[in-house]
A and B are shown apart, each in its own frame.
Chain A
């Protein structure tokens, strides 16, 4: 998911940077002080998740956990992921500074779907479990699709790589869906108030 430097066409890099910069600046501007601790914790989670590797075929994939970040932060996920990606690039060489914008776009935008899924009502345990699984599965699937699209737009030479990128992420989508489901269940058990963002949101809208 971390596209390397020196590969992409300038128009893709610039486009990704501009869109991500607008979203991130908006997220910073509207961030409230009481949201900052949770944003920091989820930024750290995202930062660390990339170090959990899963070897698949000739390559290696790693966890992202963007879905759970998006579910709990909504638009603030752009801040958490921006900080994590910046540090991964500077400290470890994952991705890079010139690709920070497009990587942020590919990873953070789909997490908003995680937030939307988190807001959907569920009437029983099964429905809730399915939704929580999808919070992990769908954003990763969309990120893989955006990654493939980025590579395909970069030129014909990257089309095959784009197809492989999409397919290779299938197992990780199920892994992330399962991890997200169990993580949210764990949070529900030990600190249910952390999931009250849903109720707060509904209350706020009703008011």
Chain B
């Protein structure tokens, strides 16, 4: 159902903040609200992403929180320090469903239910 996780990428260049947000690499967070909050969670700036999930704005301060709201109960939040990320870093979007984590999840399921079976198993009579 609802895209569960919103991915957020940000970098700044020459006093301007660039944000990119997406659910999956092929599904950008279109027209999503981006809010910049100060340390007291007071709104500094609010704007929306375009149809590619991208947005930019003037840096409001050196350090702030970025919130992306996709509606329907989905949002993501991150703390941002200006000049902490380069444009090149932001271009490299991570895989949204890493295979290794999926395999790890399956291994944990097998392990969990294996332990559960061991606990619940009926005693076998000879």
Can you list 19 A-B pairs with a CB-CB distance of less than 8 A?
A1-B2, A1-B4, A4-B74, A8-B73, A31-B116, A43-B109, A50-B4, A57-B30, A58-B29, A59-B3, A59-B72, A87-B108, A91-B104, A91-B105, A92-B97, A93-B5, A140-B1, A147-B73, A161-B72
A187 beta carbon closer than 8 Å to chain B: no
Q: Is the interface of A mostly helix, strand, loop or mixed?
A: helix
- The reply to whether A44 and B120 form a contact with Cβ atoms under 8 Å apart is no
**Contacting residues, chain B, for A1 (C-beta < 8 A):** 1-2, 4
| A204 at interface, CB cutoff 8 A | no
Q: Is B102 an interface residue (CB 8 A)?
A: yes
Q: How far is the CB of B111 from chain A (nearest CB, A)?
A: 10
- Provide the bound-state CA to CA distance between A51 and B99, in Å: 11
Interface string of B70-111 (1 = CB under 8 A from A): 111111110000000000000000000100011011101110
Interface residues as binary, A1-18 with B (CB distance below 8 Å gives 1, 0 otherwise) = 111101110000000000
* Shortest distance from the beta carbon of A169 to any chain B beta carbon, whole Å: 6
Interface centre among B71, B101, B120 (most CB of A within 10 A): B71
Contact partner of B27 (CB less than 8 A), chosen from A4, A55, A140, A168, is A55
B40 touches A (CB below 8 Å): no
**Which residue from B74, B109, B122 sits with its C-beta under 8 Å from A83?**
B109
Contact between A7 and B1 (Cβ–Cβ < 8 Å)?
no
Q: Which chain A residues lie closer than 8 Å to B106 at the CB level?
A: 44, 47-48
Give Cα A48 to B108, complex, Å: 13
A118 within 8 A of B: no
* Interface status of B47 (Cβ within 8 A of chain A): no
Number of interface residues of A (CB under 8 A): 53
* Cross-chain contact B73 with A7 (CB below 8 angstroms): yes
A150 touches B117 (CB 8 A): no
Asked if A150 contacts B102 (CB within 8 A), the reply is no
Decide: B5 and A92 in contact? CB cutoff 8 A.
yes
CB-CB contacts below 8 Å: A32-57 with B: 32-33, 36-37, 39-40, 43-44, 47-48, 50-51, 53, 55, 57
In the complex, which of the residues B4, B27, B101, B109 contacts A44, with contact meaning CB atoms closer than 8 Å? B109
> Does A21 interact with chain B (Cβ within 8 Å)?
no
Question: Could you tell me if B23 and A165 are in contact, using CB atoms closer than 8 angstroms?
Answer: no
Kindly name the residue among B1, B23, B101 whose own CB sees the greatest number of chain A CB atoms within 10 A: B1
Cβ contact within 8 Å between A91 and B110: no
B32 within 8 A of A: yes
Q: Which residues of A contact B102 (CB under 8 A)?
A: 48, 51
Bound-state Cα–Cα, A88 to B73, Å: 17
CB nearest neighbor in A for B116: A36
A61 within 8 A of B: yes
Which residues does chain A contribute within 8 Å of B74, judged by CB atoms? 2-4, 59
Q: Which residue of A lies closest to B108 (CB)?
A: A87
| A150, B5: Cβ atoms closer than 8 Å | no
A203 interface contact, C-beta 8 A = no
A99: shortest Cβ distance to chain B, in Å?
Answer: 8
